[in-house]
Amino acid sequence: MKHKVIHIVRHGKALQDYQYIQDVDRPLIEKGILNNLSIARQLHAQYPAPALIISSHAARALHTAHIFAAAMGYPHSRVQVNENLYSDGENETYSILKTLPDEVDSVMIVGHNPDLSSVAYRLADCYHSMPTSGVVSVRFETGLWSEFGKAKATSRHFFEKRDL
């Protein structure tokens, strides 16, 4: 049976005191960088690099995407940016997933809460808010992205900094 894998990744811990910069420009702090790297290595120990990484354009999400790409052997130049993941992440995530080419067997979406927690709840029965650097990976029994929402989830993995 064919399958599709979705990795939902919340950006790492970012600068909290940002009165002089726009929210979209908030950078990761050192703790966020280190947590991202640790979680990315854990994820890569269980999964190959995704066929596609798509990230919000916000600095903290895009930096997170590049950390995961580096740790998983994914080319930085192939990280795609989608600005709608910043402002309408939940709807945009479903739109992305339903329109992926079926040749793509796995995808990583990097974005923000509360949208990603809502997606993780719906796709993986993840009943708590995704922490920074958190990842929810779900494998579905289907060969078609257009049907992933109706397909049976055969496995779910949660990766969080508290597990390190």
Q: Which domains can be identified in the chain, with CATH numbers?
A: 3-163 (3.40.50.1240)
Residues 47 and 32: their CA atoms lie apart, in Å, by 22
The reported pLDDT for the residue numbered 1 is 62
**Hey, what amino acid is at 43?**
L
> Chunked in runs of 10, what are the mean pLDDT values of the chain (164 residues)?
92 90 95 97 97 98 98 98 96 95 97 95 84 95 88 89 70
Tell me what pLDDT residue 20 has: 86
To the question of pTM greater than 0.85 for the whole model, the response is: yes
In tens, the pLDDT along 90-128 reads 999 999 999 999 999 999 999 999 999 999 998 888 777
Q: DSSP assignment, residue 17?
A: -
